[in-house]
Structure 1
Amino acid sequence: MSSPCDPQYAPAGDVGAALMMIDSRLKAMYGDGAETDPVQRQLTEQFTASLAPKEADDLVDGACTLIYMFMRWLRMAYEDHDKDVIEYVVPGLVASLRMMPKSIRPEVIPTMAGLVVAAGTGLSPSLWRKQYGDWTKDEMNSLEATALLLAEHINRLTDNRDFAARMIAEAMSRATEG
């Protein structure tokens, strides 16, 4: 039986823009120059501030698509080692989000955990979230942080700082070819 939260019914959103933002944050985290530069940070902030409502919605859907794709990859990687992705990803994600009280409000952490569990069980994060109403402003930082933390988890597992971003870019390239 098909679920109304099946990814086939979800909008992909602007995966390219979402990936650009996550990749930029990863490079800043790793000290690769991006975003540590105040000019780059200002350009990113201007970009997000300039988005029309439809473009902002597409960016949110794109971030949800990234979360789904990251969790799908993680699920396959953990299953290859007879491990449960939820058990190995969600506790660390929640702990990391809790360590960011200035940018992540505590009341949105359960939503992000649910979003990741939904993605880890094969459901669309955006459709899963939609059943509880519209996104809130407080959830935007946590959504970006969730996608960033999942990408970083993948990069750590593969011992390759570019693996998560490259995996998505290659998937997008294959999708446009065929």
Structure 2
Amino acid sequence: MEELIAKRYIKALKDGSDVASMQNVTSIFTTLAESFKDDKFVSIVANPSINVQAKSEMLLEAVKPAKSDKLNNLIKLLVENKRIEIIPALAEELQKDLANSTKTYEGVIYSDSDIDKKVIKELSSGLSKKFDSTISLTFSKTDFNGIKVEVEGLGIEINFSKDRIDSQIIQHIIKAI
């Protein structure tokens, strides 16, 4: 639900904005979203006994370096409509939207065995060419028996499971007999 509300705010925010200003707004909202991981910050923002004006001033002070009336008005609107808690969803949706605008995506390679940095770079460059985008991949060691590549922004998931390949080889041999 928060994502749908966030998308509406982003649509209004994007109207008439260029990519550079949207990158700036995205970084500001990402920083604000990090604040929501702090229990003290959340207790202040969610506290009904703290008036709307104080909450608004606190958040406006946080976005002051942007020097953007549009951003200030968005913060005031969020506070006024009691939607401060959607700031993390706004940050996430802004990151997705910016990735789609710039065609720059991040992905993760999961495997139970270590993968050389050169291989990661080659996978990244191959996927970038295939999808006409800039894709950067990072490695995460897990218990997945094979290799799995996920690029969430593009909706890509490629996996090669050792168990599945073994079972397919066995089935192929049985069919051949």
TM-score (structure 2 length as normaliser): 0.27
- Which protein, 1 or 2, shows the higher relative CO under an 8 Å CA cutoff with sep ≥ 6? 1
TM-score (structure 1 length as normaliser): 0.27
Of structures 1 and 2, the larger Rg is shown by 2
- Is the strand fraction higher in 1 or 2? 2
- Is the helix fraction higher in 1 or 2? 1
